[in-house]
Amino acid sequence: DVKVTQSSRYLVKRTGEKVFLECVQDMDHENMFWYRQDPGLGLRLIYFSYDVKMKEKGDIPEGYSVSREKKERFSLILESASTNQTSMYLCASSPPGVRRSNQPQHFGDGTRLSIL
């Protein structure tokens, strides 16, 4: 079974801090994704990566950056946290085949981040 593990279930940080959210998958998937989920707005894609050291912006990349130094790990970075970044953050991965693998994405359990 595919396992996508997010390092924290709950996280509380202060405005202006640099925040790191970590995600690790154990299935050698090429593709990894970061989403945020907010009531009334649904899931929105922040960044994704098709390979090590590759990254592409999603729909809402402003205020975020990512790092993919190893295939199994995809990190989301909030450069200077703000209260409007309080949200549920979800990481996902999917098998290779660049884009059209017709395989479902596998999700972690999420990190509920609060910025005070």
Q: By the criterion CB under 8 A, which residues form the site for other proteins?
A: 4, 33, 40-43, 45, 48, 56, 58, 90, 92, 99-100, 102-110, 112
CB of 80 to other proteins, least distance (A): 26
Specify the residue, 8 or 17, whose C-beta has the smaller distance to other proteins. 8
Are the C-beta atoms of residues 3 and 109 closer than 8 Å to each other? Answer: no
Specify the residue, 59 or 79, whose C-beta has the smaller distance to other proteins. 59
The angle at the Cα of 115, spanning 105 to 59, to the nearest 5 degrees, equals: 40
CB of 110 to other proteins, least distance (A): 5
CB of 96 to other proteins, least distance (A): 15
Q: How far apart are CA 96 and CA 20, in angstroms?
A: 26
Q: How far apart are CA 8 and CA 22, in angstroms?
A: 8
